[in-house]
Structure 1
Amino acid sequence: MNQDISDLEYLDRVRKRVKKIKGFYSHLLVYIVINIMIVIINIQDLEPGESYFQFKNFFTLFFWGIGLLVHGLSVFLPDFIFSKNWEERKIKELMEKDRKQWD
């Protein structure tokens, strides 16, 4: 019975991880599609002889790209910021604090 619980917990963790990876790829796909559309619109709005390489044309690409990078790091390098099992340790810590308050 104990083995079944740990298997179920492991399966649940794997499913959550797959869901995070899928979320990142969805974010990446939307980022690419929307930014291609923005590039096309910006190119059509250029005056004759005007250069495309202006900050206003890269504003969304740059700042959304930073957000996408952070999202990717959180999905593929979760231990980069937080050590292994940080979330579980934090939950246990907070549960202990709550227990001590109620005792």
Structure 2
Amino acid sequence: MTAATPSTRTTNPPLERLARRRAAAKLGWYTHALVYALVNVGLAAIALGNGQSWHAYPLLGWGLGLAIHGAAVWLLSPGARWREQLVERERQALMRQPR
């Protein structure tokens, strides 16, 4: 039997909170994407079943909202790889400037 090691929750609470918040944001986006796909498949079936093509409007409008939600979750949230790279570039630029 191995000895139990302390969990991250007890050793670094701010990291645990950030991890939980990021996981919840990503789960929220996955849920949003699933609902988007299911509803739009249903709308397309209804529209195409009646020989119409109006389903493209909610598809595009809601798709824009989903894309903005995705950008907020995957690109702009604290700890996002893209955001952290920008912060690091700015840090390096500031360190090179004469004071």
TM-score normalised per structure 1: 0.62
Structure 2 residue corresponding to 1:26, chosen from 28, 31, 37: 31
Q: CA deviation at 1:6?
A: 7.1
Q: CA deviation at 1:39?
A: 0.5
Residue in 2 aligned with 1:73?
71
How many aligned residue pairs are there?
73
The answer for unaligned runs of 5 or more in structure 1 is 47-51, 85-103
Greater share of helix: 1
After superposing on structure 2, the runs of 4+ consecutive aligned residues of structure 1 that deviate more than 3 Å are: none
Aligned equivalents of 1:57 and 1:34: distance in 2? 10
Aligned equivalents of 2:12 and 2:75: distance in 1? 24
* Paired-residue identity, %: 26
Higher relative contact order (CA 8 A, sep 6+): 1
Partner SS for 1:77: helix
Contact 2:40 2:55 in 1 (8 A): no
**What letter is aligned with 1:43?**
L
TM-score normalised per structure 2: 0.65
